[in-house]
Amino acid sequence: MTKQLVKKKGVLLKFVKNYFFITLGALIYSFGLEAFLVPNDIIDGGVVGISMMLDALTPISLGVYLVILNLPFLYLGYKQIGKTFSFQSLYGVALTALFTTLFHHTAPLTEEPFLAAIFGGVIMGIGIGIVLKNNGSLDGSEIVALLISSKSAFSVGQVVMILNLFILSCAGIVFDLNSALYSLVAYFIAFKMIDIVVQGLDESKSVWIISNQPREIGEALLDRLGRTVTYLNGEGAYSGEEKKVIFCVINRLEEAKLKDIVEEIDPNAFLATANVNDARGGQFKKKSIH
């Protein structure tokens, strides 16, 4: 098999994988929306939230609004981000419109709004996370946030939060105050679930340790935590003293144990951690604590 044929096969498999998981994510998201949120007058953020409010105020169905309102943003995404993302997002939006129409007459799984907000948020967050992980989107508000962020001092996350807080607040006008509050609960839970799906439960963390006992700490991390470390050369800006900086990557389950090891060997050590979106290669393998 030639290299060119192998490359084409890899591209095809990735194409099929992306569209399969976007289909699955749109299906899960739509079910959560129609089985929990819609029957209890709870809305989601972004274009979906606007579409849900318009659906409640007019005879036009939610699915129609989802397609119409998202099209301008998908066009902007095509111009600013690229055709692959835009086409996969268009596919996801179209499927969401179809699935919400199919699920629209599904009997609500609960008529208790608080339970609907919790379970609806969990299910929708899983669906959105699957789609995002496969280079797609179900809502055009992220594209708007990206464009606003590029021309302002706000980050994409801050813009999305501001837009959604405004949209969710409007639920209090269209429905009532309770609906707005339940919508905030559902949105927060979905937001956290998206993080879990995209980053995983064993999210990686990078660790920097500055200590007068670098070798002892490094050997202890290798022996007791099973993590290899890298020693970096550093220099204090004020003292000019040379220091060894210990660097390693762990998962979140190992963080507490690492801190205990460092504290035990050198209580005065400087330690800093940061989230890592992806870690692979070398000797790094995600695993649980011994």
Choose the weakest-confidence range: 60-64, 182-186, 232-236, 258-262. Answer: 232-236
Average pLDDT over residues 59-77: 87
Residue among 194, 188, 213, 186 at smallest CA distance from 268? 213
What percent of the chain stands above pLDDT 70?
88
- Per-residue model confidence as pLDDT tens digits over 234-262: 877 777 788 889 999 887 767 888 898 99
Q: What is the pLDDT, as a whole number, of residue 241?
A: 80
Average pLDDT, the chain: 83
Q: What is the DSSP letter of 203?
A: -
Highest mean pLDDT: which range of 20-29, 102-111, 193-202: 20-29
Residue 38 has pLDDT above 80, yes or no: yes
Q: What is the pTM (predicted TM-score) of this model? A: 0.71
Q: What is the pLDDT, as a whole number, of residue 200?
A: 66
Q: Which residue is associated with the tokens 């060894």? A: 244
Q: Helix axis angle, 141-150 relative to 46-57, nearest 10°?
A: 130
| CB 93 within 8 Å of CB 74 | yes
Residue 19 has pLDDT above 70, yes or no: yes
Each domain of the chain, given as residue ranges in start order, spans 10-199, 204-276
Average pLDDT over residues 162-169: 82
Q: Which residues contact 250 (CB under 8 A, 6 or more apart)?
A: 204, 205, 207, 225, 227, 258
- Per-residue model confidence as pLDDT tens digits over 7-17: 777 778 888 99
Q: What is the pLDDT, as a whole number, of residue 288?
A: 41
Q: In what order do the strands lie in the sheet with 230-235?
A: 230-235, 242-251, 204-210, 270-276
Q: What is the DSSP letter of 176?
A: -
- Per-residue model confidence as pLDDT tens digits over 83-115: 887 888 889 999 999 999 898 877 788 889 999
Domain spanning 204-276: which CATH class is it, in words? alpha beta
